């Protein structure tokens, strides 16, 4: 039915409905005689409106009929008509992950990692790109795009997160199977070894502490370096992750123990520490108990720091009480490596945890299950990443352990 009107007070005229649909064609006062198409998309609560760019009624009607047919096919396939941008999809996905952090299902650290991985995706495709313009084939170039800036392991992890993003988007009908990433083959010949200090490197590194601290430009920097020194020593004696250790509070330190009969202040006291890491600070989101050497470093840190109440951070900014900034850790690490004459070594704070694992694995009586529990990882992870550790030099130099079996321990005041 063709409805025509000369009522110029109305915005639209020559309105004609498309049979068996909510669609219609029409002209407007400002369309220059060209027809427009409009249809209510119930599932998305919006009108789809577009110019047909023709003044011919029959041609406009045919074009509208074809659009209605396409809309029905899209509806059957679960496709969205109004496509969001990639940036909007990423924000939707990140909002869901933030809820998981709130519920304790993932850690805040994991959230940061996912955000970083998806930034790489946005750089690859463009955050303003419409999702319906993306095809799965486009992702075959992702690995090539990232090579040079990221390792194969990093790229593999990014691909996993991107795949999860699109699977959730498909389930929520924000994307279709046409957008599901199709990846080029990624061959990782060998799991990279974790960088750990070699015996001579660690000795060189350790011996540089005093000169590095004494070369501080002022008392404030000296205090920061003393705190970071103990951070390093505690890390290499407990295997706690960098992010976990940064957020450790004094109430997480459950007890300090000395070998029975020995003074805790003796140079050879070999104090043992027991820590309870709460789920909110661990990478896995699960609480765990950590037993390690280096209890004396905790006692020294408590004497050094201005923040020693139960709720205070162990490694606090001495002016604010907040966790010492990452940038400060990295700046001081660079300075320390230079002081040790080790600028060329590919060693980081994460190398301290790997060095701890190397020490323990090389000890013949270390139980792999207990070590994995202490580090908050799986036995298979240890086997995969530390199977290469074999050198007799490390066995001799780095695995001197306490014999706790005979005399036991006495509790020590922190």
- Ordered structural domains, the chain, with CATH: 12-77 (no CATH), 86-179 (1.10.150), 199-397 (1.10.443.10)
Q: Check residue 102 and give its pLDDT.
A: 86
Count of other CB atoms within 10 angstroms of residue 349? 19
Q: What is the pLDDT of residue 121?
A: 96
User: What average pLDDT score do residues 16-42 get?
Assistant: 90
Say yes or no to pLDDT of 8 above 50.
no
Lowest mean pLDDT among 153-167, 175-189, 203-217: 175-189
- Cα Rg for the chain, rounded, in angstroms? 31
The pLDDT score that the predictor gives to residue 269 is 58
In the chain, what percentage of residues exceed pLDDT 70? 82
Question: By the 8 A CB rule, do 374 and 290 touch?
Answer: yes
pLDDT band at 396 (very low <50, low <70, confident <90, very high): very low
User: How far, in Å, CA of 67 to CA of 70, rounded?
Assistant: 5
Considering 116-130, 183-197, 255-269, 375-389, the range whose residues carry the highest mean pLDDT is 116-130
Least confident of 209-213, 229-233, 272-276, 378-382: 378-382
Question: What share of the chain in percent tops pLDDT 90?
Answer: 48
Reply yes or no on whether the pLDDT at 28 is more than 80: yes
Q: Pinpoint the alpha helices (H) of 148-269.
A: 152-171, 199-207, 209-214, 219-238, 242-246
At residue 394 the predicted structure's pLDDT band, cuts being 50, 70 and 90, is: very low
Is the pLDDT reported for residue 409 higher than 60?
Answer: no
Would you state the pLDDT for residue 169?
Answer: 92
| pLDDT tens-place string over residues 320-373 | 999 999 999 999 999 999 999 888 788 999 999 888 888 777 766 667 777 778
The pLDDT-based confidence of 1 (bands split at 50, 70, 90) is very low
Mean pLDDT over the full length of the chain: 84
Task: Give CA–CA dist 348/42, Å, rounded.
Answer: 55
- State how far Cα 364 lies from the chain centre: 34
The two three-digit tokens of residue 218, written as one number? 């002022």
Judge whether residue 387 has pLDDT over 60. Answer: no
Q: What is the pTM of this model?
A: 0.56
Residue that is written with structure tokens 């084939």 in the block: 137
pLDDT, position 230: 97
Q: pLDDT band at residue 413, thresholds of 50, 70 and 90?
A: low
Return the pLDDT at 404.
Answer: 37
Q: Kindly tell me if the per-residue pLDDT of 388 is higher than 70.
A: no
Cβ neighbours, 10 Å, residue 70: 11
Q: CA 56, CA 45: separation in Å to the nearest integer? A: 30
- Please give the angle made by the CA atoms of 154, 155 and 157, to the nearest 5 degrees: 65
- pLDDT tens per residue across span 57-113: 999 999 999 999 988 887 776 666 677 899 999 999 999 999 988 887 777 778 888
> How far from 57 is each of 5, 240, 403, CA to CA, in Å?
15, 74, 94
CA–CA gap between residue 301 and residue 246 (Å, rounded): 14
Average pLDDT over residues 217-221: 95
């Amino acid at each position: 039915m063709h409805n025509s009107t000369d009522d110029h007070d109305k915005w639209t005229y020559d309105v004609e409905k498309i049979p068996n649909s909510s669609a219609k064609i029409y002209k407007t006062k400002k369309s220059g005689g060209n027809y427009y198409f409009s249809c209510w998309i119930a599932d998305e609560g919006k009108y789809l409106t577009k110019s047909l760019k023709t003044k011919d009624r029959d041609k406009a009607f045919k074009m509208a009929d074809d659009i209605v047919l396409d809309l029905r096919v899209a509806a059957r396939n679960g496709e969205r008509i109004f496509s969001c941008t990639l940036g909007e999809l990423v924000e939707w996905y990140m909002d869901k992950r933030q809820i998981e952090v709130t519920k304790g299902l993932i850690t805040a650290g994991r959230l940061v990692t996912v955000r970083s991985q998806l930034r790489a995706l946005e750089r690859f495709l463009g955050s303003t790109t419409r999702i319906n313009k993306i095809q799965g084939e486009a992702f075959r170039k992702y690995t090539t795009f990232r090579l040079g800036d990221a390792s194969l392991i990093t790229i593999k992890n990014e691909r996993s997160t991107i795949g999860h993003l699109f699977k959730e988007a498909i389930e929520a009908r924000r994307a279709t199977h046409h957008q599901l990433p199709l990846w080029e083959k990624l061959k990782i010949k060998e799991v990279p070894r974790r960088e750990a200090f070699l015996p001579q490197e660690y000795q060189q590194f350790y011996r540089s502490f005093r000169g590095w601290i004494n070369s501080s430009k002022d008392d404030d920097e000296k205090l920061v370096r003393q705190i970071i020194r103990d951070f390093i020593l505690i890390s290499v004696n407990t295997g706690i992750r960098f992010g976990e250790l940064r957020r450790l509070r004094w109430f997480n330190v459950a007890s300090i123990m000395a070998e029975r009969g020995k003074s805790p202040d003796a140079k050879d006291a070999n104090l043992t520490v027991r820590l309870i890491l709460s789920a909110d600070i661990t990478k896995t989101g699960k609480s765990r108990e950590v037993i390690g050497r280096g209890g004396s470093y905790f006692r020294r840190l408590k004497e050094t720091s201005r923040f020693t109440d139960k709720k205070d951070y162990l490694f606090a900014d001495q002016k604010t009480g907040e966790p010492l900034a990452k940038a400060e850790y990295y700046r001081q690490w660079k300075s320390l490596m230079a002081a040790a004459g080790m600028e060329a070594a590919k060693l980081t704070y994460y190398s301290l945890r790997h060095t701890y694992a190397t020490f323990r694995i090389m000890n013949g009586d270390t139980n792999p299950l207990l070590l994995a529990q202490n580090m908050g990882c799986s036995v298979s992870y240890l086997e995969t990443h530390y199977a290469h550790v074999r050198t007799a030099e490390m066995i001799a130099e780095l695995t001197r352990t306490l014999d706790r079996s005979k005399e036991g321990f006495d509790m020590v005041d922190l």
